[in-house]
Amino acid sequence: MLNRTADNVARATPEPLAKKIRGISDKGLAWLFISPTILLLLAINIFPLFWAIYLSFTNYRANRPNEVVKNLGLSNYQRILGDQDIWIAMQTTAHFVFWTILLQTVIGFTLAWLIDRKFRGHAFWTTIILVPMMLSPAVVGNFWRFLYEPQIGLFSYVVSFVTGIPPTNVQMLSNVELAPWAIIIVDTWMWTPYVMLICLAGLRSIPEYIYEAAEVDRASNWRQFWSITLPMALPFIMLAVLFRGIENFKMFDMVNLLTGGGPGSTTEVASITLKRQAFESWRTGYSSAFAIILFVAVFGLANIYVKALNKVKQR
């Protein structure tokens, strides 16, 4: 009945229109649908990337549009790789990435393991733990700045209460030794729930029968953890490390809000240096070269890491 109706409609369709409709193949239709997305990607991702690569070989400055643009060859790259300040910024970034990932992974996995025990009220506590992750980094940065305030901040008073040090001496954001840790604490507080969530997914994916078999073999809890839980959750943990690693390598908002890279340059991570070069000093060519170096570094490290992740998954 339905086929007959369709046939009737097809026959009733005027020939020119029918030709037009028949003219678009399935493949053509697919291209038609995805082409806006591809054009958008080309415009906002691919073109700027190639443009930045081009600019990285020039002395172009965005604040001097009338100036002649000179080709400098590899000079910008050589200057960056020989710049002491850039290497200090890279070390600061590495320090920040290492400690945030370590703390977030350890605490995140521990929390996931505890939540996975399914104790009474675990759903409520899961929601509470997830709250920091749902806040805007701008909000988090601003309220932690107040918490760290040595004269009125709650953090200083808590530390003072525990250690007996006067609160005005707990200068988390002004002290050269403490400032990097102040940022690490905030980032860990905010993003540990994210790692916990991924680890929890990993733990929940381990089939129950494996533990039952281990129980039959009278394996201890410790043995079960080392031989079942950890290896089976490892791909998930590694995935969380990958996500957080990439995010923290380009960390900008929290550092900018909390310390602005200070005191001095003690918390000046690579992205802050890049922003200063690009939008404060207006060295567009130089900063494009720096951005390309950062991109290659993150892309290369991420690729190596993904290969390692695949190997772990195949085991």
Partner 1 sequence: MKSTLKLALGLASAIFASTAVSNVAHAEDLTLCWAAWDPANALVELSKDFTKETGIGMKFEFVPWTNYADRFLNELNSHGKLCDLIIGDSQWIGGAAENGHYVKLNDFFDKEKISMDDFVPATVVGYSEWPKNTPNYWALPAMGDVVGWTYRKDWFSKPELQKEFKEKYGWDLAPPTTFDQLKQIAEFFQKRQIDGKTVYGASIYTERGSEGITMGAMDVLYSYGFQYENPKKPYEMEGFVNSEKSVKGLEFYKALYDCCTPPGASNSYMGEGVDAFKSGQVAMHMNFAFTWPGLQKDENVGGDKIGYFVNPKGPDGDQFAQLGGQGISVVSYSAKQESALKYIKWFANKDVQAKWWSLGGYSCLNSVVKDPKFPSSQPYAQAFLDSMAIVKDFWAEPSYAPLLQASQKRFHDYVVAGQGSPKDALDGLVKDWTQVFQDDGKM
Residues that bind partner 1 (CB under 8 A): 59, 62-66, 85, 149-151, 168-169, 171, 173-174, 176, 259-266, 276, 279-283
CB contact set of 263 (below 8 Å; sequence gap of 6+): 173, 174, 175, 176, 179
Q: How far is the CB of 275 from partner 1 (least distance, A)?
A: 10
Residue type, 120: R
Q: How far is the CB of 282 from partner 1 (least distance, A)?
A: 5
Give the C-alpha separation, 167 to 156, whole Å. Answer: 5
Q: How far is the CB of 262 from partner 1 (least distance, A)?
A: 4
Nearer to partner 1, 192 or 273 (CB): 273
What angle do helix axes 230-249 and 84-115 make, rounded to 10 degrees? 140
Nearer to partner 1, 59 or 192 (CB): 59
CA-wise closest residue to 96 among 259, 301, 255: 255
For residue 202, how many other CB atoms are within 10 A of its CB? 23
112, 115, 119, 127, 146 from 130: Cα distances, Å: 11, 12, 17, 5, 22
272 neighbors 89 (Cβ within 8 angstroms): yes
**Among all chains, which residue has been given the structure tokens 């995935």?**
239
Give the C-alpha separation, 293 to 300, whole Å. Answer: 10
Q: How far is the CB of 162 from partner 1 (least distance, A)?
A: 19
Q: How far is the CB of 250 from partner 1 (least distance, A)?
A: 19
59, 141, 197 from 254: Cα distances, Å: 31, 6, 22
Nearer to partner 1, 231 or 264 (CB): 264
In 3-state terms the chain splits into helix, strand, coil percentages (rounded to 5) of 75, 0, 25
Q: How far is the CB of 176 from partner 1 (least distance, A)?
A: 5
Nearer to partner 1, 229 or 259 (CB): 259
Q: How far is the CB of 63 from partner 1 (least distance, A)?
A: 5
Q: How far is the CB of 137 from partner 1 (least distance, A)?
A: 17
Nearer to partner 1, 85 or 212 (CB): 85
Nearer to partner 1, 52 or 309 (CB): 52
Nearer to partner 1, 91 or 227 (CB): 91
Nearer to partner 1, 88 or 201 (CB): 88
The DSSP bridge partners found for residue 71 are 58
Give the C-alpha separation, 309 to 301, whole Å. Answer: 12
